A and B are shown apart, each in its own frame.
Chain A
Amino acid sequence: MVLTLGLLAAPGVAPASPGSATAAPPATASPEAAPRARVFTDNRGSVLLVDDAPFLIKGMNWGYMPIGQNYQYGLWSQDERFIEEVLHREMTMLRDMGVNSIRQFDDIPPRWVTWIYENYGIWTMVNPHFGRYGLEVDGTWTPTTDYSNPKHRAAILDEVRSAAQRFEGVPGVLMFMLGNENNYGLVWTSFEIEALPEEEKAAARAVHLYSLFGEAIDLIHEETPGVLVSINNGDLQHIDLVAAHAGQMDLFGTNVYRGATARDLYQEVREKLDVPIFYGEFGADAFDAARMKEDPITQARYARSQWQDIYLNTYGRGAGNAIGGYQFQWSDGWWKYKQTENLDIHDPTASWPNQAYPEDFVAGQNNMNEEWFGITAKGYPDEEGHFLVFPRPAYYAIQRAWQLNPLDTDVSDDEIRAHFDQVDPAGGYLRYRTETAAGDVQWLKRAHVRGIRLDLSSTMTENHLRVGAGKQRLDFDHTESVYLDLGARPTDTIEARVSLNMLGNVAQNPIDPLTYESRAGKLIATDTDDPEDIAMLQMADRLRLYAAEATWNHRLFQMNAFYRVGHFHWGYEGDFFGVYQEAFYGENIDIYDAAVPIGAEFEGRGPLTGLAVAIGPQLYWGANPAVFTRYGRNIGKTRWTLLHQEDLTQQGAVANNRAIPQLVTRKTTLHAERNIGQFHLDVGGIMAGTDRLGMGFEHVRPAGNGPSYLNQGFHVLEDEIGWIDTLGAKAKVTWEPGPTHMYLQGAYRGLVADGGPDPTTTFTGWSLKDHGQGNGLQLLSGVAIDVGRLQIAPNVLYQQPLIGPNPSLGGVWDAETGYYYAGLAPRNTIDDPFAVLGSRETIAGEMLFVFDPTPGTWFWAWDNPLQEDAPLAAALDLVYRHQPTSRDAMFGFDERGTLFAFAGAPPAADVWNATLTLLSKTGPEHRVQVSGMVGSDQSTGDDPRLVTRTAVTADLYVKTAALKTALRWNDWGPYDFHRTFNLTFPFQAMADMSTGVRGFRLEDTGTRLGTRFKYRTFDEHSPDPLLTGSEGHELEIHSYLTFQM
């Protein structure tokens, strides 16, 4: 017998079981339909009624996110057919489990709420996040919400109003829940709050949050009368403030991780709020952080205990106010740890401690594994993004538990206990293992072929020197290249990947001959006399280790080893001087056949938290074998980071990598950062190049009207590096008062106090940044002003070397006196302790305009070409550099691959650049990217010719088809040496048309079939000596098939 209440006997109200709502949803629903959920409360407690029938929320935090994606992924922006396939597959499992409601953020389109309800009888609780993850204010994305700021409050209320109106009368909407434990994200500061004692600051911020909750609840009640509204609180924190400021809520939602039971939580809610309570989140993870292995049975045991706790506090029992909960969560979130890295690795790193889960709790260590909270495990996605989930024992335990209805008054508390005793947490274990094993058979996790890529291509080329007519002028060749990806996962904590490349024939005729495959052709030109040696070398070089990486998740550290796989910099972890450089080189490591980066990184955990070590033969391009160590910790409100680099020896095999070698060195930096009100302050010091103490160098000083060296107007001084030359300091302050963002940065660096280029982004995508080299004073300052959707961002740079570049001066022999007057040459970074390169005297200005109507997909994110969702987003960057003096010498490689230093440098010259970038997403599968550039710049060698160049590229993606085009006028060729030797082409054109099975991707484009056309003309500045000097041309038609599995 179902629960009998007085109101159920009222005329016109038919008793209904909770299941009835799911069993027979209406075929159609009126948008104007009255709310169907309401709360009934009497002295026995509270109950949720749907269509006047008691309703226990058997809820699920459901989401769909393939492995390899993160929070940027959006199911609802996929095409309709894809969404329907996903929903049919997943909602079937939810319905069969007994789920009657899912929790969804308010980005779910209302029509899908109705679709889910009508097809599966599952209600949706709509959940505006209430500024939890930032919000848009006056067109500017604000990552931290200030609930005391009137503008922020108004923006949130606007969003809530919009959601209320959007979902009004939508069939399938159960109720609203506002926020997601927003009380854990109250981090803004203000003068008012700063003035309070530490223990009062949190409460002061919370008052602003809960008063806004109160206003929002009133707003929804006003906009959509009768609709139930709840907030979502983190546990019962600030419950008195909740009661005081948001007590008008209909229900109280809370995320609770108290272990097996919530203890006195229900009673406290009843006493202080007197509204029904449900869990917005609760559960347990399925990973044992102490033993570092999956433990789904313990997870099921928690699920059983927690649901029994709910049952025993429903209407008429215990506190009488429990109305259900939303289990956290449906499937594992592989993206959650670090959120942008290792997205395809199921990271076992625990990220927060909780003593209420004692099975894997160790004092001082984390035990909550964010990536393992799913009651289903996640399978790998197929090409389209579909994946299977495998129910863990918790799924079956909850399914079994829900078969008893606690709202049936015939059921006693003892019967509930007896029922839950019958729920076996290990009951579904065998089935889970069987299903995951079946999944593993497909994926062969532990030692498996991860993929195979077969590149087949043919290349036809022609140039004006060829004789004959028509097809006789064409030269034809072909290439076959196979990539084999192997994976190994011997334990849950160790994973490795190896990629091999094998070659068939390699085309010898491409007009851009440097490719990874071209290594097999290079040997033909070696000086080896023995034909057998050549043949053996060619055979050996047709099979290569292309790339490899390995990850080891230990309790005390995470290790990542890499070979030709990129790694991030430490710029956001306290590396203020850019010492440890990022190592993502794209296609360049293939073009130059570079075995970089190679090494390993260790990130400490538990007692080693804050410590990081990187070690390797070449951690970034050109680096010497070295060890980098970083340690950071908070002391008071200040974050301190100490970093040391110790080169072990000089880099070898330089020519193979085309990397400029560096002097063996050591560097130590200390960085401190903290927030002071609205300001953020960074201060640091560096000591570098102590190994160069005593090294000699020359520099010049004006001689005025007196005698000078060789009558050149200057004296030549011979000097040596001292301690003071190894020291440097840098400071940066940023200030963001609302839509204006400002920074000011200054640095002094001694002659050899070298860091590296600043890898971080300050506010926006400015081009003028800190070069990081020693020898100079530098000032940088910029302002980014948000004006609606437009950002206007001027930026200025001033830098002056302490000692300027050396001029070129030939030596003189005086045969009469027998005296020799030595010459002078520009310095370089191998033969001299320092050189003026990036630090050359410069006064530069930049004006950047950014139009980004959807700041949630940040224009400057590295993957924004893939993620941008605006119909049009654009940036225009104008840069002018006044360079009144020259620089010292750089390096080049001659035709034998031998490194040499140029004897000179281009003269003083001002350069400028204008770049326009347009991104457009005109439909779910339609993208356009256009960029244009015009500017003048100098060679990186010594040629004095200033190049004024223009380029336009346009890429169009329609579903799985792609068209890429590029036009360039008077521009350098595609390789670095073109700029080094100042080799330009009057005109270059490229068009690439392809189609495949995947839509647009930044990398791993999948199986594709395409044709690429290249054409360019020559003049006296172009590279090929056979063609230079005549107005020639060459073209290439390259057809390719990439088959990827």
Chain B
Amino acid sequence: MRILTLALLAACAPDPATWRTGQDLRDLRFDPFTDDVGVHPDTSILDDPRNPFAAGFDPDSDLKWDINDSGCDRAVYSWATALAIQPMGESQFYTAGCMQALYEGGRVADEDLYLVWTLAVRGFEAVLAEFPDDVTYDVTGTIAYPLAPLAEQALLDLGATQPDREAAP
């Protein structure tokens, strides 16, 4: 009986909490969690266990620019996270831009290259379709640039004939 009681108590007792510390992201590489990740309105990035920004990320903070400056291996996660939490054209544009950079730089596994290309194309198309009037700002935060022309140019650079993305590179 005593063993049973102890077993029951043990079953009820939660595992002890762990202390949060910093994460080393130097070796982080993008690994698409789903086939729609990073394209509005998909939010699967928040469920991706590899995403270090899934919890406690404030899309309004300047942190996303700091991470953006560290390279798209990390920034693709932070932009996609911001997009999922607070859908905006700017987050969609930079998510797609990071996909484009990862594709062009070959910084994802070979078997994911085509998927990342399609995610970049679909991301830029989403800027045009879902956020056609959205803008981004210069470093001073005062001068606005419309995103739609930039997205159209990116689609041309990717070899996608907008809106038909069947033309593979």
List A residues at the B interface (Cβ < 8 Å).
Answer: 698-699, 709, 715-725, 808-815, 817-825, 831, 898, 900, 903
Contact = CB atoms under 8 A, between A and B. Distances in A.
B80 to A, nearest CB: 15
B20 A717 contact: yes
Interface in B44-75: 46, 52-53, 55-58, 60-61, 63, 66-67, 69-70, 74
Contact of B58 (A718, A820, A900, A903): A903
A718 B18 contact: yes
A585 B141 CA distance: 45
B22 interface: yes
Contacts of A821: 21-23
Contacts of B74: 820
B56 A698 contact: yes
30 contacts: A699-B17, A715-B20, A716-B19, A716-B20, A717-B17, A717-B18, A719-B17, A720-B15, A722-B14, A723-B11, A723-B14, A724-B14, A810-B61, A811-B53, A811-B63, A817-B22, A818-B24, A818-B25, A818-B26, A819-B22, A819-B23, A819-B25, A820-B25, A820-B52, A821-B21, A822-B20, A822-B52, A823-B56, A824-B56, A831-B46
Nearest to B12: A723
B168 interface: no
A821 B58 CA distance: 13
Nearest to B55: A822
Contacts of A831: 46
Nearest to A709: B20
Nearest to B68: A813
Contacts, number: 98
B13 interface: yes
A9 B101 CA distance: 125
Contacts of A809: 56
- Which interface class (under 10, 10 to 19, 20 to 34, 35 or more) fits B? 20 to 34
Most A CB contacts (10 A, CB to CB) among B24, B25, B55, B86 go to B55
B26 to A, nearest CB: 4
Interface string B71-111: 00010000000000011000000000000000000000000
Given A709-B20, A813-B63, A813-B66, A725 B25 contact: no
Contacts of A724: 12-14
Contacts of B20: 698, 709, 715-718, 822
B98 to A, nearest CB: 15
B14 A719 contact: yes
A698 B17 CA distance: 9
A716 B22 CA distance: 11
B123 to A, nearest CB: 20
Nearest to B86: A900
Contacts of B21: 709, 821
B53 A822 contact: yes
A823 B63 contact: yes
A820 B23 CA distance: 5
Most B CB contacts (10 A, CB to CB) among A717, A814, A820, A900 go to A820
Nearest to A826: B56
Given A722-B12, A723-B11, A831-B46, 4 more contacts: A715-B19, A822-B52, A825-B58, A903-B60
A896 to B, nearest CB: 9
Given A820-B23, A823-B57, A824-B56, A813 B15 contact: no
A377 B18 CA distance: 73
A821 B56 CA distance: 10
A141 to B, nearest CB: 47
Contacts of A818: 24-26, 70
Interface in B3-50: 11-15, 17-26, 46
Nearest to B61: A810
Contact of B70 (A698, A722, A813): A813
Nearest to B27: A818
Nearest to A722: B14
Contacts of A817: 22, 24
A818 B19 CA distance: 20
A81 to B, nearest CB: 66
A808 B58 CA distance: 9
Contacts of B14: 719-725
Contacts of B11: 723
B39 to A, nearest CB: 17
Contacts of B13: 722, 724
Most B CB contacts (10 A, CB to CB) among A717, A811, A824, A903 go to A811
A813 B17 CA distance: 24
Contact of A698 (B26, B55, B58): B55
A636 B53 CA distance: 58
Contacts of B70: 813, 815, 818
B12 A822 contact: no
Nearest to A901: B85
A817 B60 CA distance: 24
Contacts of B24: 817-819
A388 B23 CA distance: 82
B82 to A, nearest CB: 12
Contacts of A812: 63
A718 B20 CA distance: 6
Contact of B19 (A717, A720, A722, A822): A717
Contacts of A721: 14
Contacts of A716: 19-20
A144 B37 CA distance: 67
A378 B40 CA distance: 63
B68 to A, nearest CB: 10
Nearest to A896: B87
Nearest to A812: B63
Contacts of A709: 19-21
Given A811-B61, A815-B70, A825 B56 contact: yes
Contacts of A723: 11-12, 14
B58 A823 contact: yes
A824 B63 CA distance: 13
A985 to B, nearest CB: 28
A658 B53 CA distance: 29
Given A717-B17, A718-B17, A811 B25 contact: no
Contact of B23 (A715, A822, A900): A822
A831 B81 CA distance: 14
A831 to B, nearest CB: 8
Would you list the 7 A-B pairs with minimal beta carbon distance, nearest first? A722-B14, A818-B26, A719-B17, A717-B17, A819-B22, A716-B20, A823-B56
Most B CB contacts (10 A, CB to CB) among A814, A818, A831 go to A818
A810 B15 contact: no
A59 B69 CA distance: 97
A824 B61 CA distance: 12
A487 to B, nearest CB: 44
A719 B20 CA distance: 10
B18 A810 contact: no
Nearest to B130: A527
Contacts of B63: 810-813, 823
A721 B13 CA distance: 10
A814 B66 CA distance: 9
A632 to B, nearest CB: 28
B33 to A, nearest CB: 17
Nearest to B41: A898
B15 A722 contact: yes
A824 B23 CA distance: 14
Contacts of A823: 56-58, 61, 63
Contacts of B69: 815
A811 B70 CA distance: 15
A101 to B, nearest CB: 71
B37 to A, nearest CB: 18
A375 to B, nearest CB: 65
Contacts of A813: 63, 66-67, 70
A134 to B, nearest CB: 48
Most A CB contacts (10 A, CB to CB) among B13, B23, B58 go to B58
Contacts of B55: 698, 822, 825
